[in-house]
Structure 1
């Protein structure tokens, strides 16, 4: 199965909760500001993502999602 990890950069407030709980240290807080004036999270090391969904569960803004894809390769 292949999965896609997606962060809605304009929903993310940059609270950092997802960064703190990621077991593979995939996420970081961006130095770029989103349209609401926040520094959103992003996948700094997408190749390390194991699609555990801990970040999705922790996100208070529901800005992160992991979905199954039809392709056999993981799309990050």
Structure 2
């Protein structure tokens, strides 16, 4: 049986987690993303051997639209808080 591990796409402002075991490859997240930051993966397959998705972090704003539109809860968005050092201001 194939092990469907989550894949993280992360930079210093956000983390997007794609759960390959939940993604059915419907493409709804791709269709709804206003920034065109999501595309079908050429490397990873979902639970039904359908393409799963990957995230372009340069385009992604972590708006969360993909997370709420995914019918299978296959995406999770985490925004990181900015830490401001007031002493250096």
TM-score w.r.t. length of structure 2: 0.67
Matches within 5 A, 1:55-70: 55-69=66-80
Greater strand fraction, Structure 1 or Structure 2: 2
Residues 16 and 75 of structure 2 are in contact (CA less than 8 Å); yes or no, is this contact kept in structure 1?
A: yes
Higher-Rg member (1/2): 2
1:39 counterpart = 2:51: yes
The alignment's C-alpha RMSD in Å is 2.2
Alpha-carbon shift at residue 20 of structure 1 (Å): 0.5
Matches within 5 A, 1:1-76: 2-32=13-43, 33-43=45-55, 45-69=56-80
TM-score w.r.t. length of structure 1: 0.77
In the comparison of the two structures, how many residue pairs are matched? 71
SS of the residue 2:51 aligns to: coil
Point out where structure 1 has 5 or more consecutive residues left out of the alignment.
none
Alpha-carbon shift at residue 34 of structure 1 (Å): 3.1
Point out where structure 2 has 5 or more consecutive residues left out of the alignment.
1-11, 84-89
